[in-house]
Structure 1
Amino acid sequence: MSDDTLLVIAVAGVAALLLLILRAKVQPFVALVVVSVGVALAAGVPAADVVKTVEEGMGATLGHIATIIALGAMIGRIIEVSGGAHAFAHALIDRFGGKRTPLALTVAGFVLGIPVFFEVGLIILMPIAYGVARASRRPLLVYALPMGAAMLTVHAFLPPHPGAVAAVEAIGASQGLVLLMGIPLTAVVVLMGHLVARRLTRRAYPMDPAVYAEVYGDQEPGPDGGGTGTAGTNDAAPDLTASPAAVGDGHRTAVLSRPAATATGIRPPSLGMVLTLIVTPILLILLGTLGQNLLADGSPLRAVLTVLGAPMVALLIDLALCAYFLGARRGWSRAHLAEVMGSALPSVAMVILVAGAGGVLGKVLIAGGIGDAVADVLERSGLPALALAFVTALALRAALGSTTVALITTAGILTPLLQRAELSTGQLSLVALAMGAGGLAVSHINDAGYWMFTRLVGLDVPTGLRTWTVLTTAMGLMGFALTACLWPLV
């Protein structure tokens, strides 16, 4: 079969995927499997081998990422249920002071976004933003916009989030190097995004009356981005003790009170405890990566660090620490602890399946020869691998809406080209980060995260596009620029 025919099949497959997800509203997992089977048959994969190809693609992908995603979700769930996320955010607000409360919430979004999925993080932290806005009399968007963008940035760039994990494994990059380069890169993007958000929120925007009533009651917020309350003139953190809030889907979240103690009389986890538990698996993975690169083969220390630094082992150790320090030590029974861990799995089950289905599509592209045909075209385009990764992920993100699906599909399309380019592990890790930058950008009306954020903040569609979409796109471009700056160094 000619390359031109294979390219037509590839384009038709992507078009069919878009139609199924956007027009027919087919669940992405089902759409990916259906398109994969159709592409395999059209590309000439023998009918007897189609099912085998699907199984191999699913198994190879989930064998790498299913455990990592599940363990990461369990860690995030324990931190959430124990009150650690709320306590962490409140502690940061206390330390940063009233003038820098937006920055405090941005930092909270960045740090808590590592173990907690984006949607869950919004539900946890948005009531705190409600309370701060109510107490300070400043517009809610001042606090919520940089905080939400920080969580989405981590979701797009860093493991253990599913899109990042799947992309790293698919192209053969290193989880450790992605974290080593990605954490400082992401931190810079988040801080730059905070500055952009400050400019975007200088003017007042219309707000949904229902959300407005939840945040401010019958009182008026400040008429402009600076507000009229004490937040702009007082260094003390605002009092959050009388700030109940509700999310836009009708169910109430926890009442915003500074968490001196839980209902059982047990004090919530400290900032240091939560931060240590979030950082522990990252440090273990980084130590494993450094050991493999700096220590000699056969070294006992290298062997130990390699095992401890494997992402699955690092997350398993951290899960045990979370279970003890945030659960058992604070009075949780074994049954309750098991229930909390189990409650994390339903929300990520479909994410895991979507990631596996993305692996199926990648396997089909390779088995049918489409991968090589696409690689030839991309190679002739003259664009470097880093730019191709960013542009492809950005285009799929804009078209499909889902960051996870965009990253997985991009990895499947580019893997043959990246294998042919013979890039180093460090360069492949930067390519994975460039994909993350593309997956961050252009969050708009086909993205569930866009609707969730705008509903919680009370924005209409034009305002959401002028604020949330502009900010995420600007941060995606910043992320790609930083990866390009790092490229000569690896």
Structure 2
Amino acid sequence: MSHSTLLLIAAAGVATLLLLILRAKVQPFVALVVVSIGVALAAGVPAADLVKTIEEGMGSTLGHIATIIALGAMIGRIIELSGGAASFAHSLIDRFGSNRTPLALTVAGFVLGIPVFFEVGLIILMPIAYGVARASRKPLLVHALPMGAAMLTVHAFLPPHPGAVAVTQAIGADQGLVLLLGIPLTAVVILLGYLISRRMTRRAYPMDPAVHAEVYGEEPTSPEASSTPAIPTADDGHGTAVLTKSARTTTTAPDPALRPPSFGMVLALIVAPILLILAGTLGQNLLAEGSTFRAVLTVLGAPMVALLIDVALCAWLLGARRGWDRTHIANVMGSALPSVAMVILVAGAGGVFGKVLVASGIGDAIADVLDRTGLPALFLAFLTALALRAAQGSTTVALITTAGILTPLLQRADLSTAQLSLVALAMGAGGLAVSHINDAGYWMFTKLAGLDVASGLRTWTVLTTAMGIIGFGLTAALWPLV
């Protein structure tokens, strides 16, 4: 089959995927599997090999990422239900002082965004932003905008979030290097995003009267304020439903009789798996082969092992030591799994799509076309992820699909592990940008912040796009160094 025909099949497959997700409202997992089967058959994959190809794509992807996503969700759930997340945020506000509460909440969003999914983190921290805005009599957006953008940035760039984990596995990058390069890069992106948001929030934006009354305890006096519809319930492509308006006050609360975990304990539990993974990566690169110490660091630094150790520490320090019995600890851990089940399946279906592209020869055809453009792999990674993010809304789906499309090109380019890690971060930058009306995260933030559609586009969409471009610029600046 000619390259032109294969490329037409690929374009039709991507277009069908977008139509199924956007128009037909088909769940992304189902859409990816259906499109993968259709593309495989149209591209000439033998019917006898079709099931095997799907199973190999699903198995090779889930074998690496399913455990990591599940363990990461358990850590976030324990921190959330123990009261650790709220305690951590309040401690930061106390440390930064009343004049720097927006920066304190931004830092809280950055740190808590590592183990906690974006949607959950927003539900945890938004009531704190409400309280701070009420006490300071400042606009809610001053506190909420940089905080929400910080959590979305971490969600797009860093493991153990599903898109970052799937991309790292698919293109052959190293999770330790992604973290080593990505954490400081993400911190800079968030800091610059905070500065941009300060300029954005100098002007006032209309606020939903219901949210204004909830935050400030009074009706707004601005004639521009207009009512907005209730928060829609929809899947965001990550497997997490956008919560209804009542979710503002129905988040599961920790037992008030228990003293909340300390700032230092929560920080240590968030940082512990990151340090173990980094130690494993450094050990593999700096210590001699056959060294016992290198072998120990390699095992402890494996992402699955590092997260498993941290789950045990969270269960003991935040649970058993504070009075939770074994049944309650097991229930809390189990409660994290339903929300990530669809995340894991979407990631696996993305692996199927990537496998089909390779098995059918479409991957090589795409690689030939992209090679002839002369554009650097880093730029192609960013641009493809950004286009898919803008088209269908979900960061996770955009990253997984981009990895499937570009993997053959990246294999042909013979890039180092460090360069592949930067490519993964460039995809994350594209996945961060252009959060707009087809993204459930956009609706969740704007409704919780009381913004109308136009104000959301002028603030949230512009800020996330600017931060995505900054993130790509930083990856490009690091490229000559690796």
- TM-score of the aligned structures, taking structure 2 as reference length: 0.94
Secondary structure of the structure 1 residue equivalent to 2:245: coil
Whether 2:90 is the aligned partner of 1:90: answer: yes
Q: CA offset at residue 263 of structure 1? A: 2.3
Equivalent residue for 1:364, pick from 338, 353, 356: 356
Conservation of the 8 A alpha-carbon contact between 1:139 and 1:221: no
| Deviations 1:359-385, CA, capped at 9 Å, x for gaps | 000000000000000000000011000
Q: CA offset at residue 482 of structure 1? A: 0.3
Aligned to 2:371: 379
Whether 2:256 is the aligned partner of 1:263: answer: yes
Conservation of the 8 A alpha-carbon contact between 1:133 and 1:215: yes
Conservation of the 8 A alpha-carbon contact between 1:22 and 1:400: yes
Conservation of the 8 A alpha-carbon contact between 1:176 and 1:286: yes
Aligned to 1:336: 328
Secondary structure of the structure 1 residue equivalent to 2:246: coil
Aligned to 1:230: none
Question: Residues 221 and 418 of structure 1: is their aligned pair in 2 closer, same or farther, counting only changes over 3 Å?
Answer: farther
Conservation of the 8 A alpha-carbon contact between 1:109 and 1:148: yes
Aligned to 1:441: 433
Conservation of the 8 A alpha-carbon contact between 2:402 and 2:427: yes
The one-letter code matched in structure 2 to 1:263 is P
| Deviations 1:22-46, CA, capped at 9 Å, x for gaps | 0111000000000000000000000
Aligned to 1:430: 422
Secondary structure of the structure 2 residue equivalent to 1:250: helix
Whether 2:446 is the aligned partner of 1:454: answer: yes
Question: Residues 373 and 204 of structure 1: is their aligned pair in 2 closer, same or farther, counting only changes over 3 Å?
Answer: same
Q: CA offset at residue 209 of structure 1? A: 1.1
Conservation of the 8 A alpha-carbon contact between 2:248 and 2:448: no
Aligned to 2:229: none
> What is the distance in 2 between the residues matched to 1:248 and 1:95?
33
Whether 2:3 is the aligned partner of 1:7: answer: no
Equivalent residue for 1:250, pick from 241, 246, 252: 246
Equivalent residue for 1:314, pick from 299, 306, 331: 306
Q: CA offset at residue 392 of structure 1? A: 0.3
The one-letter code matched in structure 1 to 2:444 is M
Question: Residues 85 and 359 of structure 1: is their aligned pair in 2 closer, same or farther, counting only changes over 3 Å?
Answer: same
Q: CA offset at residue 349 of structure 1? A: 0.4
The one-letter code matched in structure 2 to 1:479 is G
The one-letter code matched in structure 1 to 2:4 is D
Q: CA offset at residue 252 of structure 1? A: 4.7
Q: How does 1:147-166 map to 2 (within 5 A)?
A: 147-166=147-166
Conservation of the 8 A alpha-carbon contact between 2:209 and 2:219: no
> What is the distance in 1 between the residues matched to 2:215 and 2:440?
23
Q: CA offset at residue 210 of structure 1? A: 1.0
> What is the distance in 2 between the residues matched to 1:219 and 1:176?
50
Aligned to 1:235: none
The one-letter code matched in structure 2 to 1:178 is V
| Deviations 1:312-338, CA, capped at 9 Å, x for gaps | 000000000000000000000000000
Aligned to 1:464: 456
Structure 2 unaligned regions, length at least 5: 224-242
> What is the distance in 2 between the residues matched to 1:182 and 1:15?
31
> What is the distance in 2 between the residues matched to 1:72 and 1:434?
23
Conservation of the 8 A alpha-carbon contact between 2:206 and 2:222: no
Question: Residues 301 and 397 of structure 1: is their aligned pair in 2 closer, same or farther, counting only changes over 3 Å?
Answer: same
Secondary structure of the structure 2 residue equivalent to 1:134: helix
Q: How does 1:187-198 map to 2 (within 5 A)?
A: 187-198=187-198
The one-letter code matched in structure 1 to 2:181 is M
The one-letter code matched in structure 2 to 1:463 is S
Conservation of the 8 A alpha-carbon contact between 1:106 and 1:146: yes
Whether 2:44 is the aligned partner of 1:41: answer: no
Aligned to 1:228: none
Q: CA offset at residue 267 of structure 1? A: 1.2
| Deviations 1:108-128, CA, capped at 9 Å, x for gaps | 000000000000000000000
The one-letter code matched in structure 2 to 1:469 is T
Secondary structure of the structure 1 residue equivalent to 2:60: helix
> What is the distance in 1 between the residues matched to 2:152 and 2:308?
24
Conservation of the 8 A alpha-carbon contact between 1:248 and 1:455: no
Conservation of the 8 A alpha-carbon contact between 1:138 and 1:221: no
Q: CA offset at residue 217 of structure 1? A: 1.3
Aligned to 1:485: 477
Conservation of the 8 A alpha-carbon contact between 1:58 and 1:359: yes
Aligned to 2:174: 174
Q: CA offset at residue 94 of structure 1? A: 0.2
> What is the distance in 1 between the residues matched to 2:316 and 2:335?
18
Q: CA offset at residue 253 of structure 1? A: 2.5
The one-letter code matched in structure 2 to 1:441 is A
Q: CA offset at residue 221 of structure 1? A: 9.0
Greater alpha carbon shift after TM alignment, 202-211 vs 151-160: 202-211
Conservation of the 8 A alpha-carbon contact between 1:177 and 1:286: yes
Conservation of the 8 A alpha-carbon contact between 1:137 and 1:222: no
Q: CA offset at residue 249 of structure 1? A: 1.6
Q: CA offset at residue 51 of structure 1? A: 1.0
Aligned to 2:141: 141
Question: Residues 222 and 134 of structure 1: is their aligned pair in 2 closer, same or farther, counting only changes over 3 Å?
Answer: farther
Q: CA offset at residue 300 of structure 1? A: 0.2
Question: Residues 214 and 487 of structure 1: is their aligned pair in 2 closer, same or farther, counting only changes over 3 Å?
Answer: same
Equivalent residue for 1:304, pick from 296, 315, 324: 296
| Deviations 1:42-92, CA, capped at 9 Å, x for gaps | 000001111111111000000000000000000000000000000000000
**Count of residues in Structure 1 that have an aligned counterpart in Structure 2:** 463
Question: Residues 175 and 134 of structure 1: is their aligned pair in 2 closer, same or farther, counting only changes over 3 Å?
Answer: same
Q: CA offset at residue 222 of structure 1? A: 11
> What is the distance in 1 between the residues matched to 2:468 and 2:4?
33
Aligned to 1:240: none
> What is the distance in 1 between the residues matched to 2:307 and 2:131?
33
Q: CA offset at residue 450 of structure 1? A: 0.3
Q: CA offset at residue 345 of structure 1? A: 0.3
Question: Residues 219 and 458 of structure 1: is their aligned pair in 2 closer, same or farther, counting only changes over 3 Å?
Answer: closer
> What is the distance in 2 between the residues matched to 1:356 and 1:448?
21
Q: CA offset at residue 220 of structure 1? A: 5.9
> What is the distance in 1 between the residues matched to 2:458 and 2:248?
28
> What is the distance in 2 between the residues matched to 1:337 and 1:441?
37
| Deviations 1:116-158, CA, capped at 9 Å, x for gaps | 0000000000000001111111110000000000000000000
The one-letter code matched in structure 1 to 2:256 is A
The one-letter code matched in structure 1 to 2:397 is V
The one-letter code matched in structure 1 to 2:206 is P
Conservation of the 8 A alpha-carbon contact between 2:212 and 2:219: no
> What is the distance in 2 between the residues matched to 1:165 and 1:379?
26
> What is the distance in 2 between the residues matched to 1:483 and 1:251?
37
The one-letter code matched in structure 2 to 1:405 is V
CA root-mean-square deviation = 1.6
Conservation of the 8 A alpha-carbon contact between 1:163 and 1:404: yes
Q: CA offset at residue 212 of structure 1? A: 1.0
Aligned to 1:107: 107
Structure 1 unaligned regions, length at least 5: 224-246
Secondary structure of the structure 1 residue equivalent to 2:193: helix
> What is the distance in 1 between the residues matched to 2:62 and 2:23?
28
